[in-house]
């Protein structure tokens, strides 16, 4: 494969995570490394607010920033997308050829030959469409997707960058909530609502205390299995007989067997541009059910955006891997790869070992990887040891941001 | 004052904090120190679930535990009350003399001569009643209150143990939420609801980013000032003109000028044993108001119990002070003090210096220290620099728990 060179652009898309800037730092590090080893990538641009900002030519030059090693280190531990994000769904080429022509003109104007897009499932759809388009019209540009999602629901990769940190946050916070709930002798139920619309990966991590301090929720419900209110109430009653403080972890996206969301009552009715319904109130719905049908003290806690932006509590494994996969994307692009999504392959659990590869993004985009049956107990209200063995390596290791004035340092690009 | 000796008992009461076990560790360390220096306190009992457990003689012997230095260190960073807690309001002596007679019998049975109670405002009421009772009936027992509350609303002390850690958690989390909210270009409002029924101290800490990374909420509302929905909507609109992502920090206990709670619509109607109304939904009430009257994207985030039990993110200053005040309580009791609440006096801000003292608990109990006018801006929707200067030393310094299996170690007594 020829060495192409010209300029590069990197963007971030979709919901923030605590590790998406680690991957951005990884792409920057990869480009620096390529040039150090004789490559000649010219400028590295950052697109502000993803493809949306690129269309408006809102580009920042990352070359100057990348010279400051301390800032690059701090970027790795800065949560949320430092370049800004967007939720722009690319039209089909046939539906809006002008959109693509305008994009192509921008690529040509800035001589962009490397395109890195860090995002989740919807962002991989962008990578898929864009790489197909530039190939079709003969513009040589290497288009690479780098995964990012706290949801861990991308096909083709053992896990996703950002998931390990969110899982560590969820597991830690749930274990703290369990301790908090345990202080009183009055019978009480605490419902913890965790992000996850279609896949319950993040909710499974709530059970990780089993391997650490023995503190885990009594019940765990995932969107992978139909939710039955009667079973939930009966299982909660049984748990209350064993000890007074029952904690339940639940994915926001759990549904009844007829497909309606449990939180539908408190739903906003708004859909986002990808057609996803905006959910709220799953925890509240269960709280009201417990109040009505059991009558004991009950509280619901929604971990909300905190679980995806807690830069102060990250998995060192996740951050290191997120940097490595960004770097690998740059190197793979230089080697001629395009239309690919970077991925992790797990080699072993004990000791944990993985390698980075890539796969055709067209085969990955728009698919959802769900929690497999082997990870869910027979009653559909708990997590198996096999699942915890999969999860554990991803949350291990601590890395702390630098604190200035009592608060974590944050890099603003 | 004679050296009394006999046995000691320590209990925890009220809502959990991330530092209440640091104070428990401090009391244990104080008793060990007294005996090392020639004192003769016999057993140190822990009462399970505060005065409620004491009445049922649910006592655990802390002497064995206290021999393990590693465990004592880990206890300092374990969140929530390790001995369990209660919300028992002591009756007036005249109303229920039997209750007091039963208590006295238990004190005599276990030869308890030192009574340490770690708690908030309501717990100081217990200390006040109990010390008056034993003095009256001539049973020599030294009764000491050690403050604890994330609310920082106790009279007589510069600040309260547990507040600094909760404030650090709130300030950090709000700064992360601000970064998270900043990634999109769409106009959006994020409401962060923070604990605080009558005093807004914890909510003031949301503004601490001003001194660190410049990230602070656009608007801050405290229960100290009447809340005006029109002003809130107008100020939010103005903020949206300046930048697309507006963040508002609000105390759960804000009230309209007629005294009704803003969150009253979503209120459970339940009162706790102290007559406090159980609040929920202040953030939701503001979310709905923004949706109706501004019409932009809006989200509310309730920090909920996480802000009081986040042992993974504590202020090193708060933990060190919380240990010190527990130790000082033991030493003061040995010196003959009784019926006192331990307290902090601030000597200077820069460099931060404080000393520990004590004051008559009868003069402190059942009073609420509110955020003074000088700490609130003229528009009643923001925090002054003077307030931040008061807050900053309390959140400074980091101390991390030991992680085992990816999660913070927790001591269970």
This complex has an ipTM of 0.95
Give residue B274's Cα distance to chain centre. Answer: 17
**B6-161+311-366+398-408: CATH number:** 3.40.50.450
Those of residues 114-133 in A touching chain B at CB distance below 8 A are none
C-alpha to C-alpha distance for A263 and A253, rounded to whole angstroms: 8
Tell me if A407 and B311 make a contact (CB, 8 A cut-off).
no
CA distance A175 to chain B (A): 8
CB burial string A364-379: b at 16+ within 10 A, e below: bbeeebebeeebbeee
> Mean pLDDT for chain B?
93
- Which one from A151, A153, A218, A318 is the annotated catalytic residue? A151
Predicted model pTM: 0.95
Q: Is A71 on the interface with B (CB under 8 A)?
A: no
d(CA A159, CA A162): 9
Asked whether the predicted pLDDT for residue B269 surpasses 70, the reply is: no
CB A300 within 8 A of CB A314: no
Percentage of residues in chain B having pLDDT higher than 90: 88
Contacts of B176 in chain A (CB under 8 A): 79-80, 306, 309-312, 408
Q: Is the pLDDT of residue A275 over 60?
A: no
Do A171 and B49 lie within an 8 Å CB cutoff?
no
- The predicted structure's pLDDT at residue B22: 98
Q: Is the pLDDT of residue A272 over 90?
A: no
CATH class of A6-149+313-365: alpha beta
User: What confidence score (pLDDT) does residue A278 get?
Assistant: 43
Which pLDDT score, from 0 to 100, does residue B277 have? 47
Task: Check A180 against B304: CB less than 8 A apart.
Answer: no
Give me the sheet containing A245-251, strands edge to edge: A219-221, A245-251, A188-194, A297-302
Tens of pLDDT, residues B14-23: 999 999 999 9
Domain ranges of chain A: 6-149+313-365, 163-309
b/e sequence B132-171, b meaning 16+ C-beta within 10 Å: ebbeeeeeebbbbbbbbbbbbbbbbbebbbbbbbbbbbbb
Q: Which CATH superfamily is domain B163-309 in?
A: Phosphofructokinase domain (3.40.50.460)
Provide mean pLDDT across the span B88-116. Answer: 96
Give the gap in angstroms from C-alpha B96 to the nearest C-alpha of chain A.
23
Task: Compute the distance between CA of residue B399 and CA of residue A233 in angstroms, rounded to an integer.
Answer: 40
Closest partner residue to B309 (CB to CB) among A180, A311, A405 is: A180
What is the predicted pLDDT for the residue at B377? 98
Candidate from A122-126, B48-52, B175-179, B301-305 with smallest mean pLDDT: A122-126
Average pLDDT of span A387-398: 98
pLDDT attached to residue B109: 98
Which site among A180, A252, A263, A299 would you substitute to test the B interface, given the most B Cβ atoms closer than 10 Å to its Cβ? A180
For B203, other C-beta atoms within 10 Å of its C-beta total 30
Residues 170-209 (A) with a CB less than 8 A from some CB of B: 171-173, 175-177, 179-185, 190, 208-209
Q: Do domains B6-161+311-366+398-408 and B163-309 have the same CATH topology?
A: yes
Least confident window among A1-15, A385-399, B349-363: A1-15
Average pLDDT over residues A261-273: 57
pLDDT single digits (tens) A307-353: 999 999 999 999 999 999 999 999 999 999 999 999 999 999 989 99
| Residue with the two structure tokens 């923070």 | B194
Q: Which residues of B touch A266 (CB under 8 A)?
A: none
pLDDT above 90 (res B121): no
Q: What is the mean pLDDT of chain A?
A: 93
């Amino acid at each position: 494969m020829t060495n192409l060179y010209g300029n590069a652009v990197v963007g971030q898309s979709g919901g923030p995570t605590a590790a998406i800037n680690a991957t951005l730092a990884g792409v920057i590090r990869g480009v620096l490394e390529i040039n150090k080893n004789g490559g000649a990538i010219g400028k590295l641009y950052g697109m502000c607010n993803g493809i949306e900002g690129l269309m408006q030519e809102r580009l920042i030059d990352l070359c100057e920033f990348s010279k400051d090693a301390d800032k690059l280190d701090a970027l790795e531990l800065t949560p949320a997308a430092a370049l800004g994000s967007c939720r722009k769904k690319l039209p089909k080429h046939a539906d809006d050829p002008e959109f693509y022509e305008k994009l192509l003109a921008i690529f040509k104007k800035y001589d962009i030959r490397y395109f890195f897009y860090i995002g989740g499932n919807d962002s991989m759809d962008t990578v898929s469409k864009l790489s197909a388009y530039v190939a079709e019209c003969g513009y040589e540009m290497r288009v690479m997707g780098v995964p990012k999602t706290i949801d861990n629901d991308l096909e083709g990769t053992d896990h996703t960058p950002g998931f390990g940190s969110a899982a560590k946050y969820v597991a830690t916070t749930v274990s703290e909530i369990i301790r908090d709930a345990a202080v009183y002798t009055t019978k009480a139920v605490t419902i913890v609502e965790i992000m996850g619309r279609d896949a319950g990966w993040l909710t499974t991590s709530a059970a990780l205390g089993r391997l650490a301090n023995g503190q885990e929720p009594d019940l765990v419900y995932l969107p992978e299995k139909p939710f039955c209110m009667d079973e939930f109430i009966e299982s909660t009653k049984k748990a209350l007989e064993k000890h007074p403080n029952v904690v339940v972890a639940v994915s926001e996206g759990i549904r009844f067997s007829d497909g309606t969301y449990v939180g539908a009552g408190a739903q906003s009715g708004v859909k986002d541009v990808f057609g996803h319904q905006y959910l709220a109130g799953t925890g509240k719905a269960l709280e009201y059910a417990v109040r009505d049908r059991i009558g004991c003290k009950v509280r619901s806690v929604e971990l909300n955006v905190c679980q995806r932006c807690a830069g102060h509590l990250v998995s060192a494994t996740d951050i290191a891997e997120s940097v490595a996969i960004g770097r690998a994307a740059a190197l793979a692009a230089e080697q001629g790869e395009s239309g690919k999504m970077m991925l992790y392959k797990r080699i072993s659990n004990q000791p944990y070992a993985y390698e980075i590869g890539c796969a055709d993004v067209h085969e990955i985009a728009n698919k959802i990887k769900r929690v497999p049956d082997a990870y869910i107990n027979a009653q559909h209200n708990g997590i198996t040891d096999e699942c915890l063995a999969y999860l554990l390596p991803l949350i291990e290791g601590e890395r702390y941001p630098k604190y200035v004035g009592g608060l974590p340092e944050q890099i603003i690009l």
